[in-house]
Every structure is written in C-alpha cells, then in structure tokens.
Amino acid sequence: MKIRIATRKSALALWQANHVAAALRELPEVSGTELLPLSTKGDEILDRSLQKIGGKGLFIKELEVAMQNGDADLAVHSMKDVPADMPDGFCLAALLARANHKDALVSASGTQLQDLPLNARIGSSSLRRQAQLRMLRPDLRIEPLRGNVNTRLAKLENGDYDAIILAAAGLERLELDHHISHQFSPAEMLPAAAQGVLGIECLASNTKLRAILGRLSDPISVLTTSAERSIARALKASCQSPVAAFATIDNGTLELTALVAHPDGSQSIRDSISGNAADAAQLGETLAARLIKNGARELLDSIEASHD
C-alpha cells in the first residue's frame, strides 16, 4: 500500500510528515509514501488572532478536505493544535510517543525570564501562555505573535520582542533548540493538552489503514493524551482557551494536573488527581468536574465574552 500524507507547508509540519512517513516505510504493508503539501487558512491569515478567525482548527480543515476527496490518506498533526472533538467521519488512528512537553523561553541574548527588563515585550498569541507568564511576571507586555517557527525567531532577532515563547518540541525537531534560553517546568508553566505528541488522522471508515497506523501508536501517549484532552472536552475549551493539562504515568498510576486561568493572570484554578492509568479519560472528566465546581466554567465564559 502506498500512503499519501496531507501536510501543511511549514518546515515543522513537513518535518512531522516526513517523520511519520519514515516510520510507515518500516512496515511491511507499506510500499511507499508521498507528501501532499497544502496551504491552510490558518497559515494564510496572519494579521488576526486565531481566536478572532476561528481557532487552530483552521490549520486542519484543508487537510481533512483532501482526505474526504480521496487526494490523501492521512494527515499528521501536532496534537496540541487538534480540537478536542473530531469531526464526523474522522478519527485519530495513532498517537506517537511524546516528545518534549515543555514550553520554551527564547530571548535574544539568552536572558532568563526573571532577568528581562521591567515591562519587557514577550511574543505569544497563546492565552494559556499569557496567563501563566503574567502569573510569573505581572509587569510583562505580552504582544501577539503569529507565523511559523522561523518567522517568529526572525521577529525576535529583528528586535520586535525581548523574548518569545515557543514549544520546545518544535524547536528540537527543527534542530533550533540552541535558541532556547529556558525550558519551563510544569510547575512554572503547565503545557497545553497533548503538547509534544504527534497524532495521525484518517477517515474513520478506512479500517485497513487504521489497523496499519495503530501499530505506530505509543500506549503511554494514548493514555496521557486521553486524560489531558478529556479535560478540554469536558470544559468545552478550544485549542486557544487558557486551559492547560499535563499527565504522567508511573507504575500504572496516572497523575494529572490541570489549570484554567484568566489571560491577565488575575485568576487561576489549578487542581490535580491521580488514579489507575487505565481510567485515563474518566480521571480527566472527574478533574474537569472539580474545576467546574470551583468556577472554571464561569471563568472561561467571562474570557470568551471579553474576546468576542
């Protein structure tokens, strides 16, 4: 079977697609792979925030259309960009082993967060990162930052910002991790649900392909992703909501921490739960229910109303 992979055209998206293609070519059922690079609305509209134009799902739609039309067999996604609910007719057939889950500070001179000047300009369009940055440094001026990884690094180099925040995994995949000044621990900055995980999407009806792709799945990644994404699903949070979730598994016990915070850093609700890793999704739902009981729904509603 030859497998056609729909992908965005950015260097990181192409790296991810090629990474999956290489893994597929190791399987005896796969005779070859082909990449189908596409431009998405999310890539094309760079002058407005993702919240204003419809969220990170805009990076995915054109790839799904290619699969529906029979032009591609699958698409590879950074799971932190994938909405909690898949559209009808599609499924996540595989979740690869998690890479680095952390957020990274990149500053022009390697300066640490605490050493940046008062009212330093930080580039980030993520409400989740904005909230946690302001909880660490309330004085920071956080300004929008869109574009691919190299574009963002160029804006920093150009002096548009004193520092920017990027996912460490993306920088490592592109061999740009020498730019990292600091990697935030989950205690400092809790990551987005499934940050660092690559997912493979295909048509739910393609059972033969799903069986092949399932062999690439990492069982630990499947459980932690299930727990983390169930938080976002239960909270009805989008990929752009200021919601963070991070799960680890040790000796069959899953530990899950989640956070809902106001982007200005003034309010936050954080809680943790642990239990049998086999109950990953249920643990996420239970923790989400506790967050809602403590005011998470009202907080998210007020944030969405202010960003309309």
> Which residues does the annotation mark as catalytic?
81
Question: Which residues are CB-neighbours of 237 under 8 A, at least 6 positions away?
Answer: 84, 231, 243, 260, 300
Neighbours of 77 (CB within 10 A): 23
Measured CA to CA, the distance from residue 110 to residue 100 in angstroms comes to 20
Handedness of CA 295, 234, 257, 194 (dihedral sign): negative
DSSP string, 117-142: PTT-EEE---HHHHHHHHHH-TT-EE
CB 8 within 8 A of CB 63: yes
Measured CA to CA, the distance from residue 225 to residue 248 in angstroms comes to 10
CB 241 within 8 A of CB 297: no
